[in-house]
Amino acid sequence: MGFVVLHMEKAHGSDSGTTAHIERFIIPKNADPTRTYLNRRLIEYPDGVKDRSAAIQRRLEEAGLTRKIGSNQVRAIRINVSGTHEDMKRIEEEGRLDEWCADNLKYFADTFGKENIVAAHLHRDEETPHIHVTLVPIVKGERKRRKREEQAKKRYRKKPTDTVRLCADDIMTRLKLKSYQDTYAEAMAKYGLQRGIDGSKARHKSTQQYYRDIQKLSDNLKAEVVDLQQQKETAQEELKRAKKEIQTEKLKGAATAAAANIAESVGSLFGSNKVKTLERENTALHREIADHEETIEALQDRIQIMQADHSHQVLEMQQRHMTEIQTKEAEHKKEVSRLTRLVEKLCAWFPLAKEVLRVEKLCAIVGFSTEQTRTLIAGREVMHDGTLYSEEHGRSFTARNVTAKIRQESVSKRLVLYINQTPVGEWFKEQFEKLRQSMRQHIQPQRKSRGMKM
């Protein structure tokens, strides 16, 4: 049985950096761009709200707050929920991910109030599926007065106990945070997940900290490679210098031996003690040469060991990188194969699904936004003000305040896109004919004016 993950942290201001990460305005390094299309927005924004930061601001404006929001005041609480990697993959493979998402939304709505949960996003393009929940800390009740306020309470009018306030501290007390861990684990027990060890010293690592650690590790490896290279160059320099010294010492040794021989010959004639002195010096020089040769051998061994370690580290890094790439490719192929089979089954079971996919592609080509396309496929009418593109005519036509709707033909069961109650193909032909007529009317007066004489 795996463990649940429930992490809460305060956010200040509009929290635009986190919004860009969650909404995928920028793709983080630890995300797989080929899987980003699997991400989902679990809570739809109200009309006029374009992203998570705007949703936070809308909730603050509509909450009925009586006190001005401070510049350093917490306006939102970031909540990240998931589970042990293996268990989340199991839930995903069992087809229970939608059920898991719905139970999460229910838990947070029941715990903090549905109106305070302004955004929730499911991410499946990272290693482990997880949900980012955004909570605006709107609470009711009298705020906790400090001691000096309590001492002077007779001088101030006591506010009603049901006053609406923005206060993250009331939500994130130590006892409440512990309670959230307990109750959330109970809600997730049906998925084989349990609460983490109470009092554990394990700490959540933020995305920014994760990137910093990766960068630090990379920099350390680079520094170690540079240091090994410098050590190798230093050892080679020492080897060259030692060889030169040995060559010099050998020459000195040869000269000393010759001098000793001469001195020995002379000493035998004159009985001098210089011969013994030269012999001692010669022995000492031989010992120094032997020491230098040992030093050279040690340096050569050290160079070989360093080169072997460096090659081993490079090989390990390359193998690890290749293994990660192969794993990612295998997972991607598996997911594509699974989705292909799913789409084929969907089209076989629901023939209309193929029509929906065709019309969705048509709407995108014509120029409708994703939100407009979703509304059209749902069978609702859409107002459009702008231009619409015709592949047949290879150009865009002005569409001022037109109405669009998708209808199903009664006989062929095909889905047809209508513009102002006219099939889109016919509507484009009408617009093209109007454009041609307009151009004729513009050209004829010009020809007449060139034929007039003054």
pLDDT, tens digit, 9 for 90 and up, residues 236-284: 777 777 677 767 766 666 656 655 565 555 455 444 455 567 777 778 8
In this prediction, residue 152 carries a pLDDT of 55
Report the chain's mean pLDDT, rounded to a whole number: 82
Confidence (pLDDT) at 454? 41
Q: Which amino acid is at 444?
A: Q
Place of tokens 């919004």: 19
State pLDDT tens for residues 163-211.
889 999 999 999 999 999 999 999 999 999 998 765 555 454 555 554 5
Mean pLDDT within 346-370: 87
DSSP annotation of 38: G
Residue-wise pLDDT for 1-43, tens only, equals 688 999 999 987 778 889 999 999 988 888 899 999 999 999 9
Between CA 59 and CA 14 the distance in angstroms is 12
Banded pLDDT at 153 (limits 50, 70, 90): low
Distance CA 319, CA 316 (A): 5
Which of 373 and 233 is assigned the larger pLDDT?
A: 373
Q: Where in the chain is the domain with CATH 3.30.930.30?
A: 2-201
271: alpha, beta or left, given left = phi > 0 and alpha = psi -120 to 50?
left
- In this predicted structure, the answer to whether residue 147 has a pLDDT above a threshold of 60 is no
Q: Token pair of 51, please?
A: 């992203």
- Rounded to whole angstroms, how far apart are CA atoms 239 and 256? 25
Cα–Cα distance, 340 to 301 (Å, whole number)? 58
| Closest to 239 in 3D by CA, of 186, 279, 294, 182 | 294
* 327-337 per-position pLDDT tens digit: 998 998 998 88
Residue range 2-201 forms a domain whose CATH class is alpha beta
Looking at residue 48, its pLDDT comes to 92
Give percent of the chain above pLDDT 90. 42
Helices 351-366 and 370-377, axial angle in degrees (round to 10): 140
- 227-236, 240-249, 399-408, 424-433 — which is least confidently predicted? 227-236
